[in-house]
Structure 1
Amino acid sequence: MQNTLNIRSIVEQELQQKGYNLSRFSQVSGMNRGTLSLILNGNPSKLPSIPQLDKIAEALGYEQGWLYELYLEECFDREVPHWRRLKNFLYRCIQLDKEELIDKALHRLMEDCSQTAAVFDAAEEWYEEGHRQILLPFYRYVTVNEKYRHAERLAVSHYRIFRLSQSENFENNLRAAITFEPYRHELPVGFRLDGLLKLANIYYNQHIWEKVELYADELRELATEVYENKISLHEDQDREKGLETERHLVVYFGQGYVLKGNALANVKKYDEALTYISGYQNLYWFNGLDEIGQKEVLKLSHFSEANFLAVNLLKGNQSYLTRYTEFLRSNPNELLPGLMVIMDAANQHHFLVDHILDEFMIPIEKMKDELQYQNGYYQSTSSIERYEDLYRKLSVYFLKYQRYNEGIENLLKGLSISLRVNNKSNLLAYLAMGEVFRNYATNSQINRFEFIMREVLKLEEVQLSNFIPDNVK
């Protein structure tokens, strides 16, 4: 039996129940009587536009979005919908946050690959308006349907997916990076600068230093090429097609040196790292510096001072410890990364730094509590990673000197954060340390450790809850 449930029949039933004739409903809805007649009495009936459907819904006492499910079905049942009609429908779904209907519409549109360019252009238009996560299905549609596998819009779609997929989950970020990176060369130069900087930072958080070096080198080379070819160096040119960057050009140039130097320092190539630090020590020669650019240069110069002291300290030169501590006192924003450097140096070269911990750990913990209070938890993945890393270094320091209670307390703090962000490489290290030093833990610490391990099982979807002995539940 043919399904007679459609927009026309439902609206007719509503009008009848509420006692409206065509003339009266025209007055109530503010719609032209002739238009209403075509919708309700035409043969075949006219499918209303989205604005018309919203007016009908409002006049009948329903929320906007009423009958959208049927509207989508009728769009495709009658014929392949005209793109303008479908675009209006999709835009209203974005405004009303109807993600399920967007997915259904794009799935139905899969049968018509000729709309790929139109879908991409619409997504870019709406991206410029400020819409973000809800556009992911549009860009995924383009990546599936784009016939020319190296077309610019395919690369831009992968770039958008990469950026929109970023979260506090390190593993998800890494997966998004791996998917995106083969398409980076096909991007417009501005997007490529942004993409390379983001890739380098993701791999930095994952401690994959070879990749950090690779993308730092690419970033530095591309920024240099852009600079030397004088592409959009001034503020009034920054939004020209081909160089739509989120940051000033000097940031990409300087960060290419920063990331390269930091990656080298992390693999203990300290002398090489020092040569890259000099590359961003003084960038005031950089042409095209506006007020924003001047601030970025000052920030990079600040980084170079901090990193110069840090690398020399990591080389084992304890004479830099006092200077570095003084630097941190004068620059409280550097306390967290700075203390991580101090702990690395202390663990590598057997420095005693209790006096520094006594001074700095109280403000460090206060900063963490304020960050948690402001954002519900840590909003920035770099902040999360730093606190997790710091607790791991602290646990090593205390355990090395057989201060087991302090070591295990820091281990548990870091393990908890590592679990939350799904950082599996550090998670395994924490679990191993926990097992090795289990005999030195208090009963309370053992209970907290076992609770976290059960959470790990949940994360891995290991269904063992019915088999865990009662004494460890």
Structure 2
Amino acid sequence: MFKSAILESVSDINLLTDILKEEFSNENWESMVHIADKLYTSIKGLYEENQLRQAKEQPRVDTGRLKRSVAFYFGFSMVMKGIALQKMGDYEGTRDCIEKYSELGWMYGLGEEGQADVAHFKMLARANTYVLDLLEGKMDVLPEYVQFIHNAEEVELLPGIITILESAIKNNHNVDWALEEFEIQLNALDGEYEEEANIRYYIDHLYLMALYNFKNGRYFNALNITLNGLRMSDKLKDDTGYKKINALFVTFSTHATKEQLNEYNALNKTILERVLKDEKGIRFDGSSFVSVR
């Protein structure tokens, strides 16, 4: 029965990881904190059980059913909890999380994959320390953060841009020079993402880019970015992003050109026609609803 419980715990770890990613995509911050704590407790229990068995010279629990290294789950749980706490404004709690995944080298039996994960989370800890500094208004670290993004893994580009935009909006700073540093890379993004986390980052960077331009009175550019965000969130089936970006367009629609309004209306018409394909007995002819048999 104890063996069964251990196997169930391994399955729970995989499941909790998937749920945590989904809650991040849906921006359910409070739920993320709860699930991240459960994931951390589960992987900690599994790790400590194996350490105890090794000390007693007993067979270790088989972790082969885990999709990633044990170190990954320690780091991932605290990264996701830290993100959620940051979004809720608890910066002190976020720093506590960063401290927990900044150095995971204390673990035994990591292996090559585990060592790589330890290095990755150490890099994330450095990045997210910059994030907190910027959100707290310490804009003097921005040049250093820009250089960090240039030198970091490619996956850090969108989270980095999001941080720059969030800090600028919150602290009323102009960061045009920093955004220009990454203009070529951002323009090269095609939005072909499959993982929910990557979709979330891609759509959020468009939302914040539009918001930043609105805040600085650049309505034409902001509305063009908003239209692109609507197209991409619809394409990627990101309802959370679509709602936020649509609210932006509607709020500032009085500043839209005739062409921008026509594009917005055409997009919504296309969406409506697609939705009605699944409805029986009704068809949209472009201007009105028609009953069909």
TM-score normalised by the chain length of structure 2: 0.86
Q: Select which of 250, 253, 256 maps to 1:438.
A: 253
- Cα gap change, 1:244 to 1:438, in 2 (>3 Å): same
Amino acid at match of 2:266: F
- Cα gap change, 1:311 to 1:455, in 2 (>3 Å): farther
- Cα gap change, 1:282 to 1:186, in 2 (>3 Å): closer
Match in the other structure for 2:291: none
Please tell me whether the aligned partners of residues 411 and 434 of structure 1 are also in contact (alpha carbons under 8 angstroms).
yes
Match in the other structure for 1:379: 194
How many correspondences in the alignment?
A: 275
Q: Select which of 332, 341, 350 maps to 2:163.
A: 341
Q: Distance in 2 between matches of 1:328 and 1:238?
A: 40
- Give the 3-state SS of the residue equivalent to 1:319 in structure 2: helix
Please tell me whether the aligned partners of residues 384 and 417 of structure 1 are also in contact (alpha carbons under 8 angstroms).
no
Q: Select which of 223, 228, 233 maps to 1:413.
A: 228
Amino acid at match of 1:196: L
* 1:263 positional shift: 0.7
Within the alignment, does 1:468 sit opposite 2:287 as a pair?
Answer: yes
Within the alignment, does 1:364 sit opposite 2:186 as a pair?
Answer: yes
What are the residue-to-residue correspondences of 1:15-414 with 2, within 5 Å?
Answer: 188-230=8-50, 240=62, 244-333=65-154, 334-366=156-188, 368-369=189-190, 377-414=192-229
Q: Distance in 2 between matches of 1:312 and 1:272?
A: 14
Q: Distance in 1 between matches of 2:153 and 2:219?
A: 29
Q: Answer 1 or 2: higher relative contact order, Cα 8 Å, separation at least 6.
A: 2
- Give the 3-state SS of the residue equivalent to 2:217 in structure 1: coil
Q: Distance in 2 between matches of 1:446 and 1:186?
A: 58
Report which of the two structures shows the higher radius of gyration computed on alpha carbons.
1
Please tell me whether the aligned partners of residues 220 and 256 of structure 1 are also in contact (alpha carbons under 8 angstroms).
yes
* 1:238 positional shift: 8.6
Q: Percent identity?
A: 25
- Give the 3-state SS of the residue equivalent to 1:229 in structure 2: helix
Please tell me whether the aligned partners of residues 159 and 201 of structure 2 are also in contact (alpha carbons under 8 angstroms).
yes
Match in the other structure for 1:96: none
Please tell me whether the aligned partners of residues 387 and 414 of structure 1 are also in contact (alpha carbons under 8 angstroms).
no
- Give the 3-state SS of the residue equivalent to 2:284 in structure 1: coil
Please tell me whether the aligned partners of residues 6 and 61 of structure 2 are also in contact (alpha carbons under 8 angstroms).
no
* 1:359 positional shift: 1.4
| Gap runs ≥5 in structure 2 | 289-293
